Amino acid sequence: MAMGTGQSSQHVAGRLEIRPEEHAALVDGRPLSLTMRELQLLVTLSEHPQRIMTREELFSEVWGSRPRRDDRSVDVYVSRLRAKLGEALPEAQLIHTHNGIGYRFSPDG
């Protein structure tokens, strides 16, 4: 996935700043330690704020293919991303689960 192509170069959600073109996410100006997949997932969700994205859409955008029926990679990576965001921003819940559907990014927390 080419992060940031055709999109604004920066997304802000409270104290979180996402810079797709720089492959970076910052909290209060300090880099957040994310793997490339976690960052790609965060960028993809933040490019569609308030929209529920299905697991299949996220897998396609981040991994570049269709998931196998039993693949839970999206759930695993969302869980890891939430944990890291939760450590850095304990007051905000940016990623919401919609059971049976997928996930939604809410920049307002």
pLDDT in tens, 38-72: 999 999 999 999 999 999 999 999 999 887 878 88
Instruction: Identify the residue whose tokens are 């490339």.
Output: 36
- pTM: predicted TM-score of the whole model, two decimal places: 0.86
Residues 104 and 51: beta-carbon distance below 8 Å: yes
Residues 74 and 58: beta-carbon distance below 8 Å: yes
pLDDT at 15 > cutoff 50? yes
Give the DSSP H/E element, type plus range, for residue 82. helix 73-88
Report how far residue 65's alpha carbon sits from residue 49's, in angstroms, rounded to the nearest whole number. Answer: 22
CATH class of residue range 11-105 = mainly alpha
